[in-house]
Structures are given as C-alpha cells and as structure tokens.
Amino acid sequence: TFGMGSGTGGGKYAKDQEGSGEGMGLGVKASPSAFIVIKDEEAKLLSLRKPGSLEKLVEKFPEILEKFPRKLGKRGGKGEKKE
C-alpha cells in the first residue's frame, strides 16, 4: 500500500511589517500488504492483511534465513591479501 499527501500555505505580514512567508510539505508512506515466499520450485503469496499471517511469517523466518549465503559477515573482495 502506498500513500502520499502534500500541503502548501502562504501569507503576508500586517500592513506595518514587510515580507511574506510560504511553506510546503510532502509525505509518503509505504507499507507491505503481502510477501512472496519462494521455496524450491514453488512460490506463495503470504498476505499480511489476514489474521495470523504475521505469525506465519515469523515462523518461516529461520527457514528463509537459511537461503542466504553464509558469507554475509566475511570479506573476500579484491585487494585483500590471502595467506
């Protein structure tokens, strides 16, 4: 879900003062409605709008983490000297 809002305003000082003021604001919000979970050859859409969906996602979190490479904390880029 995406939402956006904006507002503007302006005004002048009283007759005995000089100047004016203007302002503008903009806000954007994005919140997920669902996640796509891919396991082996199967893809599932896990909605966050249904009761209990967030709990299901939390239960699957360890399984999802196993899919990421174990080298996240290790560096093996160019320029490093191997011993």
> What residues have CB less than 8 Å from 6, skipping those under 6 apart?
24, 25, 26, 27
How much is the average pLDDT of 58-81? Answer: 64
CA neighbor of 38 nearest in space, from 63, 70, 58: 63
User: How confident is the prediction for the chain on average, in pLDDT?
Assistant: 76
pLDDT for res 25: 92
